[in-house]
Structure 1
Amino acid sequence: MSLRKTIWALVAMLGLQAAHAQERGPVTNLPIPRFVSMKATEANVRRGPSLTHRIDWVYKHRDMPLEITAEFGHWRRVHDRDGAGGWVHFTLLSGVRTVVVTAKEVELKILPQPDAKAVAKLEQDVIARLGACDRTWCKLSVDGLRGWAPKSAVWGVRDDEIRK
């Protein structure tokens, strides 16, 4: 067992959390887990990381946010906001960040403040491009509209994630 695995096993055994440690993908060396979006309009979601594995379903929405939880060769294990997922070929994914509105309705604000003027209302399941985020707000853009929404109203960004 490597030193790194031994340390992680000890941390898990003691019930400790490593505040700043994050696993890296063995293929890309990028953080795991991480959010991406669908580049393609359709993507087969397979049971395992190869073309010989059964297709469980097909994602059919370009720009849908997904979370990568594992890497194997040219394949990425992903899941959507409902927890459904499987293995998708990396060419069908994009590093462009998007989020999906999970609240029944959310107002886009001109500033990241609850009492700021609203510029638009987004309904549940709307997909928006993700911009900057502070501790509680994220800047979103959709169909030419831009504004700030509470981080708690969307899926596709970590609670502790800060973006500039």
Structure 2
Amino acid sequence: MRGKYLKVCLVFAVGLMFAGEAVEPAYAQVAKGPSGLPLPRFVSLKSKRVNLRIGPGTDYAASWMYLKAGLPVEIIQEYDNWRRIRDADGTEGWVNQSLLSGQRAAIAAPWMKGKGKFVYVNMRREPQSSATVVAKLEPGVMIHIAECNGDWCHAEADSAEGWVAQSEIWGAYPGEAFK
């Protein structure tokens, strides 16, 4: 699979060079799933009780149950109406598409959770590192994302609203922009 991915990226980059456009190191979706949507992509859990199965169907055993609606997950594969997902901890399994939502969410720096020191993700008034800090988010805090510009995401956590650096969350790819 790695060879195919590299070939697709090389063809994509060469095509852009011949088209006279600059190749940017920003986020680019390469693969499309059977649904026609890009793979991988971030979504969130629609229901507050979601079984994670070891295969794509109800005949497969549930290996885990999520108990929080709105949790961000990454779709990495599609099969019929089943989606293979990965969570912020790296756990993978299959979920029926009806239990997923296109609403975007993220988790503040989950890789820093439990590191033994106080590390916070700063939520700022404007999308710039010099802007006023409106909230300090602990690693692992879930946030709702309204939009991302490739460097910053406009987000909401509890009663706080502002901008967080895209590099400090799990739920949006580096360089990904959307509204």
Please give the range of the TM-score, normalised by the shorter of the 2 chains.
Answer: 0.7 to 0.9
**1:75 aligned onto 2:82:** yes
Which region of structure 1 is more displaced relative to structure 2, 137-146 or 83-92?
137-146
Q: 1:45 aligns with which of 49, 52, 63?
A: 52
- In the alignment of these two chains, the number of paired residues is 156
**1:11 aligned onto 2:19:** no
**1:127 aligned onto 2:121:** no
Structure 1 residues 143 and 89, CA, compared in 2 at 3 Å: closer, same or farther?
same
- Give 5+ residue unaligned stretches, structure 2: 14-27, 113-118
- Give 5+ residue unaligned stretches, structure 1: 1-7
Opposite residue 121 of structure 1, the aligned amino acid is: K
Opposite residue 141 of structure 1, the aligned amino acid is: E
Question: What is the distance in 1 between the residues matched to 2:148 and 2:128?
Answer: 13
**C-alpha contact (below 8 Å) 2:29/2:38 kept by paired residues:** no
TM-score, with length taken from structure 2: 0.79
TM-score, with length taken from structure 1: 0.86
Structure 1 residues 79 and 161, CA, compared in 2 at 3 Å: closer, same or farther?
same
1:146 corresponds to: 161
Root-mean-square deviation (Å): 2.3
Residue identity (%)? 38
Q: Cα deviations across residues 10-59 of structure 1 (Å, max 9, x unaligned)?
A: 817xx837355621111x21111110001111111111101111111111
